[in-house]
């Protein structure tokens, strides 16, 4: 019997299409090199989360496990016999897919404890079950990106989920963290409550995504940054009209545009969380300005696709 196993899964950033993706429009997202590790060890007695740590610029520290997280874990693990340790270097609750990364890492770790590797399809299916506990009615984008890695065009229509891998140019992206968590379930419910009045905004977000995809098709990163950037800013303005931006996110986007970004937007459900900025060139000036303004800021790197 295998006594202990561990597995990692990446977080994600949404380049275009959040919220609209819940209603059948396409979205573009990519896996990042930051993620979550789950370690499982057999032990006598009840299954328990023994430790939950997060790392940021200041080092690793203990974090309190979200009660929804504990419910989700209970649903996915045997009642008896496991000690669970969770470590993440993703900012938690900021739209970077920390809960999906946890779900996918957990599915992978459980499979390893059984002496096998979980295929992407299993991570997607079981990850979705776990994600539902956190998010209520998620589109499935987060855990699909976490399961598959790389860049993805994702759509959940009436006929099911469809996704296409996107090979992204080497984009220079900066994450600007407002430091405030956003509640995805609450933001999604808020948008739902504002329908049908906001349907034209959701349609406009959906219509932007194929334009972003076409702009990303340019192999030259500089040309891609100049073409994609303004579309990201347009996406942000539409998300603000949906009511999911905050003064801190507005300040982050304005700061990015003032410091050379070709475009910037909030990323994820909003109500807090992070903004992403696209640059045509090195990120240093924007990183310094964002930190000087009191934001967390770091470059985002794309995590390569999982082999099938």
Catalytic residues: 142
Q: Which is nearer to ligand PMV, 66 or 280 (CB)?
A: 66
Q: Which is nearer to ligand PMV, 113 or 152 (CB)?
A: 152
Q: Look at residues 31, 5, 32 and name the one whose alpha carbon lies nearest to residue 108.
A: 5
Q: Which is nearer to ligand PMV, 40 or 278 (CB)?
A: 278
In the complex, least distance from residue 221 CB atom to ligand PMV, rounded to whole angstroms: 24
In the complex, least distance from residue 190 CB atom to ligand PMV, rounded to whole angstroms: 10
Separation between Cα atoms, residue 84 and residue 94, nearest integer Å: 23
28 backbone dihedrals φ, ψ, rounded to 5°: -120, 130
In the complex, least distance from residue 247 CB atom to ligand PMV, rounded to whole angstroms: 18
Binding site for ligand PMV (CB under 6 A): 14, 18-19, 21-22, 95, 97, 135, 138-139, 141-142, 184, 188, 268-269
Separation between Cα atoms, residue 167 and residue 149, nearest integer Å: 11
In the complex, least distance from residue 288 CB atom to ligand PMV, rounded to whole angstroms: 27
Q: Which is nearer to ligand PMV, 19 or 236 (CB)?
A: 19
Per residue, what are the HEC states of the chain? CCCEEEEEEEEEEEEECCCHHHHCCCEEEEEEEEEEEEEEEEEEEECEEEEEEEEECCEEEECCCCHHHHHHHHHHCCCEEEEEEEEECCCCCCCCCHHHHHHHHHHHHHHHHCCCCCCHHHHHHHHHHHHHHHHCCCCCHHHHHHHHCCEEEEEEECCEEEEEEECCCCCEEEEEECCCCCCHHHHHHHHHHCCCCCHHHHHHHHHHHHHHHHHHCCCCHHHHHHHHHHHHHHHHHHHHHHCCCCHHHHHHHHHHHHCCEEEEEEECCCCCCEEEEEECCCCHHHHHHHHHCCCEEEEECECCCCCC
Q: Which positions ≥6 away from 262 have C-beta within 8 Å?
A: 225, 226, 228, 229, 230, 278, 279, 280
In the complex, least distance from residue 82 CB atom to ligand PMV, rounded to whole angstroms: 26
Q: Which is nearer to ligand PMV, 7 or 101 (CB)?
A: 101
Q: Which is nearer to ligand PMV, 269 or 277 (CB)?
A: 269
In the complex, least distance from residue 27 CB atom to ligand PMV, rounded to whole angstroms: 7
Q: Which is nearer to ligand PMV, 188 or 300 (CB)?
A: 188
In the complex, least distance from residue 154 CB atom to ligand PMV, rounded to whole angstroms: 9
Residues in the chain: 308
């Amino acid at each position: 019997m295998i006594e202990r196993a561990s597995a990692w899964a990446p977080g994600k950033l949404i380049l275009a299409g959040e919220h609209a993706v819940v209603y059948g429009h396409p979205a573009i997202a990519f896996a990042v090199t930051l993620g979550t590790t789950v370690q499982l060890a057999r032990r006598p007695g009840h299954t328990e989360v023994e430790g939950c740590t997060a790392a940021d610029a200041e080092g690793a520290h203990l974090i309190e496990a979200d009660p929804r997280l504990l419910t989700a874990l209970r649903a996915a693990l045997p009642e008896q016999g496991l000690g669970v340790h969770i470590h993440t270097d993703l900012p938690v609750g900021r739209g970077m897919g920390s809960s999906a990364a946890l779900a996918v890492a957990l599915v992978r770790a459980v499979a390893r404890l059984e002496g096998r590797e979980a295929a992407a399809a299993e991570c997607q299916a079981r990850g979705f079950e776990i994600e539902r506990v956190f998010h209520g009615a998620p589109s499935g984008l987060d855990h699909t990106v976490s399961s598959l890695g790389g860049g993805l065009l994702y759509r959940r229509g009436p006929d099911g989920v469809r996704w296409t891998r996107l090979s992204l140019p080497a984009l220079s992206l900066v994450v600007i963290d407002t430091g405030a968590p956003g509640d995805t379930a609450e933001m999604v419910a808020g948008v739902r409550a504002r329908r049908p009045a906001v349907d034209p905004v959701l349609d406009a977000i959906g219509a932007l995504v194929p334009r972003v995809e076409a702009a990303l098709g340019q192999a030259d990163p500089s040309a891609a940054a100049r073409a994609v950037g303004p579309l990201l800013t347009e996406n942000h303005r539409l998300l603000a009209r949906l009511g999911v931006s905050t003064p801190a996110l507005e300040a982050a986007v304005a700061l990015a545009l003032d410091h050379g970004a070709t475009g910037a937007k909030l990323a994820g459900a909003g109500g807090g969380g992070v903004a992403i900025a696209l640059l045509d060139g090195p990120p240093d000036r924007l990183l310094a300005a964002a930190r000087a303004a009191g934001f967390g800021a770091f470059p985002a790197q794309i995590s390569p696709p999982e082999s099938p």
